[in-house]
Amino acid sequence: MKRLILALLLLAPLAPAHAALNVFACEPEWAALVAELAGERAKVYSATTARQDPHRIEARPSLIARVRRADLVVCTGAELEIGWLPLLLRQAGNARVQPGQAGYFEAAAVVERLDVPTTVDRAMGDVHASGNPHVHTDPRRIARIAEHLSARLAGLDPANAQAYRDRLADFSRRWSEALDRWSARAAPLRGVRVVAHHKDWVYLYEWLGMESAGYLEVKPGIPPSAAHLAALKVELAAQPARLVLRTPYQDPRASEWLAQQTGVVPVELPYTAGGTPGTADLFGLVEVTVERLLAGLQ
Distance CA(186)–CA(116), nearest Å, equals 27
Per-run averaged pLDDT (10 residues), the chain, 298 residues: 44 50 98 98 97 93 98 97 97 98 98 89 75 97 98 97 98 98 98 97 98 95 94 97 97 97 97 95 98 97
Tell me the CA end-to-end span of the chain in Å, nearest whole number.
Answer: 70
| Residues 6+ positions from 128 with CB-CB distance below 8 Å | 78, 79, 80, 115, 117
H or E segment and range at residue 106:
strand 104-106
Task: Give the distance, in angstroms, between the CA of residue 43 and the centroid of all CA atoms in the same chain.
Answer: 19
**What is the spatial distance between Cα 243 and Cα 262, in angstroms, rounded to a whole number?**
10
Q: What is the pLDDT of residue 159?
A: 96
Q: Can you tell me the distance from the alpha carbon of 78 to that of 31, in angstroms, rounded to the nearest whole number?
A: 18
Distance CA 178, CA 281 (A): 13
**pTM of the entire predicted model:** 0.91
Distance, in Å, from the CA atom of 10 to the CA atom of 85, rounded to the nearest integer, reads 45
Domains of the chain: residue spans and CATH:
21-181 (3.40.50.1980), 187-296 (3.40.50.1980)
Neighbours of 141 (CB within 10 A): 21
How far, in whole angstroms, is CA 193 from its chain's centroid? 23
**CA dist., res. 234 & res. 152, Å (int):** 50
**Closest C-alpha among 13, 76, 17, 64 to residue 42:** 17
At 156 the pLDDT is 98
Predicted local distance difference test score (pLDDT) of residue 8? 40
Q: Which helix (H) or strand (E) holds 74?
A: strand 72-75
Give the pLDDT of residue 18.
55
* Predicted pLDDT of residue 13: 42
